[in-house]
């Protein structure tokens, strides 16, 4: 059987994506490789298909038991011989698995990096026909990336222990520095480095000032009734508080963070994957290896700590290739929240100075992204070292015209900077905003700031707008924040002038202040999609219900049966025979055999009612 026939038979895929071809070829030809493909780009197929085609055993190194289980379930549903070896299995289960492994009955074996470090296990593998090692989430090996995991460093011995095997590393996000580190740590000589297009055109990015957070979150959820979504918070307390508020409003939401027990986290993750719960509120502890393909939105209630984290987390939306939305509710205070967390974490390290410097660089880059007036897709693609083929994406708040530039930005900026100067650079944002709006407070009276020329100079502007513009000026270096110590040893930030402040006042530097504009929500390609044949959404919901019932009976996540993209095509085409159904992307021979008749009957019943 030819490779394309293998892919068609098991996965129901007729044509490969551009980067998948050289990535799969590298595995087939036993050449080491590093493959960087954004989430949803089809990384898994790059090592799964060759494993079936070549025969023997491919060992897949994966960081989480839950991720292994999901991939094994998905492969078995496609008729592929896959198993996992992990600490949750009984002695009998392990014995059976090892027997199958020695007898050559397993194409893909999923293990943790800790398992690979065990000498006994490595000796066992030397007795097996291992052809290839595939390292998933390979960015975990690099100090320079995010989600660094020390146990991944042990994989550097793979080449030494198994010199005849090819090694292939896969990740969704890696800057050039991280890519070089992965190659170096894994000792991959003459490795083929394949980097896919970092642009995710099906995602619409929005960065919005955080004002009435609960209302903002509810507005996004309301756009996607009965659809899956992930809401990220910076702190555990924020997760718990938001989950309670959503639950009180009748939304089925579950929390996920490191402060919960393993059992609680496991139940929350399973409920989300099995579509028993559609909303997960979580810290960054949630997400690695989440294979639910129909996540329609990812929200951040605060700024992530790096663009790598942001790309990874937003990448969990729209893995099925359908439209999805990524919304970031931002406040300038997020920078200082993360700064405090970073400094606290550094105290636990022997030498935390490098950690602080690297983390703060990432944080500043993320902060600039939030305040930028440049296309979101363009900025992300450039950050990961690629030159975008577009300047406007038609799929972000800026390009969709949901954010506009304030016409008199320069004048407003001068008034704000002048006020900071008039209060002698001794006060924080709240006090400066109070003075600009011409409001009285005990502090204003005590400081006699009612007499300042800038008192009430922007009284027609809202507190939210002024606060946001001040943060934008900080982001453009036209103002700075400096922490000072007050009474009782507590520190608080005050506004300070910079060299650029003077340049703005003298009209030597241009500043742009942004305002949110309420417009109808849309995404890239809306006009083109409107011209496409429409999916019968009522039939789609019928097929979703059938998929959920089958998945429940088989105790696997619904997306293992069919993806939303496959069901939508089914609901559009309305196949009347197994032959017609087989032509739908995602319907391979095994799934056609196992589920074809039930889904055909559902389509027929719907059409005849």
Highest mean pLDDT among 122-131, 380-389, 467-476: 122-131
How much is the pLDDT for 518?
63
Residue 519's pLDDT is 56
- Which is more confidently placed, 529 or 506? 506
**pLDDT for residue 527 is more than 70:** no
Q: What is the arithmetic mean of pLDDT over 292-307?
A: 94
pLDDT value at residue 531: 41
In this predicted model, what pLDDT tens digit does every residue of 66-123 receive, in sequence order? 778 888 999 999 999 999 998 888 889 999 999 999 999 999 999 999 998 889 999 9
Distance CA 386, CA 505 (A): 36
The pLDDT score that the predictor gives to residue 154 is 83
250 Rama class: left (phi>0) / alpha (psi -120 to 50) / beta: left
Percent of all residues in the chain with a pLDDT value above 90, rounded to a whole number: 61
Report DSSP state, residue 402: S
Task: For residue 29, name the pLDDT band (cuts at 50, 70, 90).
Answer: very high
Percentage of residues in the chain having pLDDT higher than 70:
94
Digit-coded pLDDT (tens) for 570-601: 999 999 999 999 999 999 999 999 999 999 99
Coil, strand or helix at 267: helix
In CATH, which of 3.40.50.300, 3.40.605.10, 1.20.1250.20, 2.60.40.2300 is domain 203-402?
3.40.50.300
| Residue 247: strand, helix, or coil | helix
CA-nearest of 603, 552, 592 to 12 is 592
Q: What is the DSSP string of 486-535?
A: -GGG-EEEEEE--HHHHHHHTTSS----EEE-------TTHHHHHHSPPP
Q: Which of 11-15, 118-122, 150-154, 255-259 has the lowest mean pLDDT?
A: 150-154
Domain ranges of the chain: 3-195, 203-402, 406-516, 532-608
Helix ranges, 155-235 (H): 158-161, 176-186, 213-222
How does the average pLDDT of the chain come out, rounded? 89
Task: Specify the CATH architecture of the domain 406-516.
Answer: Orthogonal Bundle (1.10)
Query: What is the CATH superfamily name and number for domain 532-608?
Result: HRDC domain (1.10.150.80)
Q: For the sheet containing 108-111, what is the strand order?
A: 82-84, 108-111, 57-61, 130-135, 166-171, 33-36, 192-195
CA 51, CA 32: separation in Å to the nearest integer? 15
Is the pLDDT reported for residue 525 higher than 60?
no
Instruction: Look at residue 1 in the predicted model and tell me its pLDDT.
Output: 67
Each residue's pLDDT tens digit, 164-222: 999 999 998 788 888 999 999 998 888 999 998 888 999 999 998 898 999 999 999 99
Question: Tens digits of per-residue pLDDT, 349-383?
Answer: 656 577 788 888 889 899 889 888 789 999 999 88
Inter-CA distances, 331 with 21, 146, 458, 495, Å: 43, 22, 21, 16
> Which pLDDT score, from 0 to 100, does residue 493 have?
86
Please tell me the distance from the alpha carbon of residue 376 to that of residue 370, in angstroms, as a whole number.
Answer: 9
Q: What is the pLDDT of residue 152?
A: 85
pLDDT for 344 equals 83
The reported pLDDT for the residue numbered 350 is: 58
Reported as half-sphere exposure (CB side, CA atoms, 13 A), residue 3 has a value of 17
| Residue 333: Cβ-neighbour burial (10 angstroms; 0-12, 13-18, 19+) | middle
The yes-or-no verdict on residue 526 having pLDDT over 70 is no
pLDDT of residue 351: 60
Model confidence at 429, in pLDDT bands (50, 70, 90)? Answer: very high
pLDDT > 80? residue 327: yes
Taking the CA atoms of the chain, what radius of gyration do you get in angstroms?
27
Q: If DSSP states are collapsed to H, E and C, what string results for 285-336?
A: CCCCCCCCCCEEEEEECCCCCCHHHHHHHHCCCCCCCCCEEEEEEECCHHHH
User: Per-residue pLDDT for 46 more than 80?
Assistant: yes
> Minimal CA–CA distance to 224: which of 120, 129, 322?
322
**Equal CATH topology for 3-195 and 532-608:** no
pLDDT of residue 349: 63
Homologous superfamily, domain 3-195:
P-loop containing nucleotide triphosphate hydrolases (3.40.50.300)
Write the DSSP symbol of residue 230: E
In this prediction, residue 279 carries a pLDDT of 96
Q: What is the mean pLDDT of residues 370-397?
A: 87
* Mean pLDDT in residue range 447-454: 96
């Amino acid at each position: 059987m030819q490779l394309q026939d293998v892919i068609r038979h098991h996965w129901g895929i007729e044509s490969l994506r551009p980067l998948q071809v050289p990535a799969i070829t590298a595995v087939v030809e036993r050449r080491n490789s590093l493959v960087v493909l954004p989430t949803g780009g089809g990384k898994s197929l790059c090592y799964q298909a060759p494993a079936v085609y070549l025969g023997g055993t491919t060992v897949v190194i994966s960081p989480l038991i839950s991720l292994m289980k999901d991939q094994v379930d998905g492969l078995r549903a496609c008729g592929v011989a896959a198993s996992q070896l992990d600490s949750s299995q009984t002695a009998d289960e392990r014995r059976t698995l090892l027997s199958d492994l020695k007898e050559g009955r397993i194409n893909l074996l999923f293990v943790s990096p800790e398992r690979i470090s065990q000498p006994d296990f490595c000796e066992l593998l030397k007795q097996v026909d291992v052809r290839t090692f595939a390292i998933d989430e390979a960015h975990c090996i690099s100090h320079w990336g995010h989600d660094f995991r020390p146990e991944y460093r042990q994989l550097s011995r793979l080449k030494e222990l198994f010199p005849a095997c090819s090694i292939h590393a896969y990740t969704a996000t890696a800057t050039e520095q991280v890519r070089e580190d992965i190659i170096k740590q894994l000792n991959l000589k003459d490795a083929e480095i394949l980097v896919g297009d970092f642009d995710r055109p099906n995602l619409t990015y929005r960065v919005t000032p955080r004002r009435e957070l609960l209302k903002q979150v509810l507005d996004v959820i309301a756009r996607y009734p009965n659809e899956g979504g992930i809401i990220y918070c910076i702190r555990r307390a924020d997760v718990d508080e938001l989950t309670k508020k959503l639950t009180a409003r009748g939304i089925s939401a579950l929390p996920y963070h490191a402060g919960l027990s393993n059992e609680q986290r496991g139940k929350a993750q399973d409920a989300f994957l099995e579509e028993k719960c559609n909303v997960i509120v979580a810290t960054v502890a949630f997400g690695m290896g989440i294979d639910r393909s129909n996540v329609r939105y990812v929200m951040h209630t605060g700024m992530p700590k790096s663009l790598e984290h942001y790309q990874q987390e937003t990448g969990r939306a729209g893995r099925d290739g359908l439209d999805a939305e990524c919304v970031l509710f931002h406040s300038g205070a997020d920078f200082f929240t993360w700064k405090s967390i970073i400094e606290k974490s550094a105290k636990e390290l022997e030498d935390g100075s490098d950690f602080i410097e690297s983390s703060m660089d990432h944080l500043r880059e993320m902060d600039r992204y939030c305040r930028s007036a440049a296309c979101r897709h363009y900025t992300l693609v450039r950050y990961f070292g690629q030159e975008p083929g577009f300047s406007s994406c038609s799929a972000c708040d800026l390009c969709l015209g949901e954010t506009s530039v304030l016409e008199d930005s320069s004048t407003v900026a001068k008034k704000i900077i002048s006020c900071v100067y008039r209060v002698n650079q001794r006060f924080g944002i709240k006090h400066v905003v109070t003075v600009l709006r011409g409001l009285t407070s005990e502090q204003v009276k005590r400081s006699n700031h009612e007499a300042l020329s800038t008192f009430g100079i922007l009284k027609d502007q809202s507190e939210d707008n002024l606060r946001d513009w001040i943060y934008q000026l900080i982001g453009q270096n036209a103002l700075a924040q400096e922490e000072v110590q007050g009474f009782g040893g507590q520190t608080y930030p005050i506004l300070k002038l910079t060299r650029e402040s003077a340049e703005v006042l003298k009209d030597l530097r241009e500043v742009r202040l942004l305002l949110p504009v309420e417009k109808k929500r849309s995404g890239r390609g809306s006009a083109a999609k409107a011209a496409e044949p429409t999916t019968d959404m009522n039939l789609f919901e019928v097929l979703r219900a059938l998929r959920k019932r089958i998945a429940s009976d088989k105790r696997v996540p619904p997306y293992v049966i069919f993806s939303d993209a496959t069901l939508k095509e089914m609901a559009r085409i309305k196949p009347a025979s197994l032959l017609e159904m087989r032509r739908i992307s995602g319907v391979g021979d095994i799934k056609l055999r196992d589920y074809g008749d039930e889904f055909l009957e559902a389509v027929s019943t719907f059409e005849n009612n």
